[in-house]
Chains A and B, each alone.
Chain A
């Protein structure tokens, strides 16, 4: 029997099992007696083993079989589910994941699995904890900590739900029962491309319609336009994947950091079912991981400090995803020590990132955003936990690249909330079109806070800088022409058109020659060699065939 035809299905289903196993493990740590999760873990390992055996992937069989046996001991009450078991199972998940990658790329397996089965077979829980079955999760109890109240563990179970049989069934049987099909992702990308081209062409029809002043044509175009919007929305929906496609990693990294730093953390996740564009989702993993690690490592205080401050010893980190029309909101909330705006300013001044005078002008909101300036978090503060050389500046840049924004709110002593606002799609965007000297260029509207027409009289000069007042904040003015190396604009009537954007955590007014209004653009990659140019996020064709570049303002400044 030719098994190669089953390989793709094997890989995708095995990964679903791995994901669910990892989730169940983390869920079980929060409530170790959960019968359903224990059974599900056993079944997951068992099914994996059966599938791998059919494909004759011996290494996977061996690892899955050991996991199954370990879970059989837990299921039969011979072994309590504790941190040690969880570690071993997660190690198995990683092993199989690596093996599957080898299978996928058709190379001989590069991961040694020997030793793993023996360690599982020989595993006995650490003796001193034998009696305290439910207290085995690694986060639990510094000696002073009170046992978690029952309500809290009930919440824990709720917030990390085991995928119910209902959803499991829906996932699996849908292909036969609901008349659905599996589609290659390239095909979807192609559909998006075509839809994008249609949007561009519609703009062209619109401008022809205006030139001809034909009501009949305009009617037809406006109808087409509505249909296109609907088509675009539908195609976009097809590309959406639920947030849970990446969320299990977060549970795991929070768990790992908590363990390493000896803190007790309750991690909550809501909105796992919210759909995001596949492209956005992929780019979110690293930034979110970093924010979460920060929250656990720097945000949450250790148990004793928390109790002194009258807080429960167990820290709370909450990741929630929600949708607000065509924006996705992701928040990471912790109930830790929070951030002190003045301390941020002092640190930035000390590091020579801003002058004391500049520091005085900052609002509390701006002060918190200083953490996103490159160089703010120095190597010295990078621990091996939240380190890896990525600072908040990299996080901020990654979010900006996705067309999103990052906001920080913090109450000293109460905790910190980091909010990411992201577009649902990154293929078709709304952009502000501006004229700078001889060129037209576009800025994604999510990078534009507002546009202003400023009279020269409103400009103040502070030191060498030109500033203006907006919402009680002093905002520096820059010329986009100058940034782009173009001749500066003249403003004979004394009115300067500008848009307000955020760069390095601070608001800036960017003066342009003319604001040309908002357009719907289909973003295309520029390709080599142009995609290496700093500050260029892509290109797009306007309805009249004119090509414009799309700027990445935060990268330019």
Chain B
């Protein structure tokens, strides 16, 4: 069974890129969201195995969304994604329960390796 992933990013360009990378690797993209609020709502609906979560987004940022997702499902596997400049937030993200941190721009090999590690625990 394919692993179900939800992609959260406010940029359609970024979502499309990530979707292509992950689909290629055999993941199934079951949901996408473009802001934190939508991410939390869609997490409850689709209960994905894995979430990639952007940090800088409108309408509730990634860290806040992460906290709400973790509060709803302590077993959630969330990987934070962000461009240079937000490294300061990695600690906050890890404390809030993020499993890993990926730096944009996405490097396909790196993305798949990190996600594999997260899935395998």
**Interface residues, chain A, with chain B CB atoms under 8 Å away:** 1, 6, 9-10, 13-14, 39-40, 42-43, 46-47, 49-51, 53-54, 56, 65, 68-69, 72, 165, 168-169, 172-173, 175-176
Contacts and interface: CB of A to CB of B under 8 A. Distances in A.
Contacts of A40: 58
B83 A168 contact: no
Of all A-B residue pairs in the complex, the 9 with the closest CB atoms, nearest first, are A165-B59, A50-B83, A54-B105, A53-B105, A165-B58, A172-B34, A50-B104, A13-B13, A46-B56
Nearest to A2: B20
Interface string B8-22: 001111101100010
A172 B10 contact: yes
B108 A47 contact: no
A165 B59 CA distance: 6
A82 B16 CA distance: 37
A69 B86 CA distance: 11
Nearest to A40: B58
Nearest to B11: A47
Contacts of B33: 173
B59 A51 contact: no
A6 B85 contact: no
B12 A169 contact: no
Contact of A50 (B14, B16, B35): B14
A1 B83 contact: no
Interface range for B: 20 to 34
Point out which of B13, B32, B35, B59 has the most chain A C-beta atoms below 10 A from its C-beta. B13
Contacts of B58: 39-40, 43, 165, 168-169
Given A1-B108, A172-B12, A46 B38 contact: no
A529 to B, nearest CB: 45
Contacts of A172: 10-12, 34
Nearest to A56: B105
A6 B34 contact: no
Given A53-B105, A169-B34, A169-B59, A47 B10 contact: yes
Given A6-B16, A53-B104, A43 B57 contact: yes
A10 B12 CA distance: 9
Contact of A49 (B34, B38, B59, B83): B83
Contacts of A168: 10, 34-35, 58-59
A47 to B, nearest CB: 5
A503 B101 CA distance: 67
A165 B35 contact: yes
Given A1-B108, A40-B58, A50-B104, A169 B17 contact: no
Contacts of B11: 13, 47, 50-51, 172
A67 to B, nearest CB: 12
Nearest to A1: B108
B27 interface: no
Contacts of B38: 169, 173
A176 B83 contact: no
Nearest to A11: B13
B112 to A, nearest CB: 11
A9 B16 contact: yes
Contact of B83 (A6, A9, A46): A46
Nearest to B109: A1
Contact of A47 (B32, B56, B106): B56
Contacts of A54: 13-14, 17, 104-106
Nearest to A48: B11
Nearest to A3: B17
16 contacts: A1-B21, A6-B16, A9-B13, A43-B57, A47-B10, A50-B105, A51-B11, A53-B83, A53-B84, A54-B106, A165-B59, A168-B10, A168-B35, A169-B34, A172-B12, A173-B34
A84 to B, nearest CB: 23
Contacts of B34: 168-169, 172-173
Contacts of B82: 50
Nearest to A5: B20
A169 B36 CA distance: 11
Point out which of B56, B58, B85, B105 has the most chain A C-beta atoms below 10 A from its C-beta. B58
Interface in B35-72: 35, 37-38, 56-59
A50 B21 CA distance: 17
A168 B11 CA distance: 10
Contacts of B21: 1
Nearest to B106: A54
A47 B104 CA distance: 10
A39 B16 CA distance: 24
A499 B45 CA distance: 65
Nearest to B81: A50
A173 to B, nearest CB: 5
Contacts of A43: 10, 56-58
Interface in B95-119: 104-106, 108
Contacts of A50: 11, 14, 82-83, 104-105
Contacts of A1: 21, 108
Contacts of A13: 11-13
